[in-house]
């Protein structure tokens, strides 16, 4: 039996339900941008611009928690493109906030293809 990576990706995407908030983070050197959508890819809230420091990471976690509370969602799934080394600070800080990491894999979502680090909050 041949197992294709696309099959695994589809299985992971199919597990996203109406209780999930999906957050994508665009990583840059100094300022990051986060955008949230629901399971139907409908935008939830305004985008968040935050700095690559502890204050910025607290701002990100608070923004996610507020969106979850406002929309009555259980879990946030955060994806980011781990290019360069700028994402490492976010990962480390979110880990300290009690977030855990699923995996690093290649996904195709919103017609974009990228390597992605997935975090559950």
**Per-residue pLDDT band at 16 (split at 50, 70, 90):** confident
What pLDDT does 75 receive?
83
Domain 43-121, architecture per CATH:
3-Layer(aba) Sandwich (3.40)
DSSP category for residue 42 = -
pTM of this structure = 0.75
Range name among 4-8, 25-29, 65-69 with the lowest pLDDT average: 4-8
Q: Are 61 and 23 in contact (CB under 8 A)?
A: no
Per-residue pLDDT of 34-58, as tens digits, reads 999 988 888 999 999 999 998 999 9
Number of C-beta neighbours around residue 108 at 10 A: 13
The domain ranges of the chain are 43-121
In the three-class reduction of DSSP (H, G, I as helix; E, B as strand; rest coil), residue 4 is classed as coil
Kindly report the backbone phi and psi dihedral angles of residue 17, in degrees, each rounded to the nearest multiple of 5, phi listed first: -125, -175
């Amino acid at each position: 039996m041949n197992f294709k990576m696309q099959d695994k990706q589809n299985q992971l995407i199919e597990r996203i339900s109406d209780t999930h908030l999906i957050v994508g983070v665009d990583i840059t050197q100094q300022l990051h941008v986060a955008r949230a959508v629901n399971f139907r890819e409908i935008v939830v809230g305004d985008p968040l611009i935050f700095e690559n420091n502890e204050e910025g990471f607290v701002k990100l976690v608070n923004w996610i928690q507020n969106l979850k509370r406002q929309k009555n969602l259980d879990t946030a799934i955060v994806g980011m493109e781990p290019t360069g080394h700028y994402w490492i600070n976010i990962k480390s800080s979110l880990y300290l906030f009690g977030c855990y990491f699923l995996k690093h894999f290649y996904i195709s979502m919103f017609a974009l293809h990228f390597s992605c680090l997935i975090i559950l909050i």
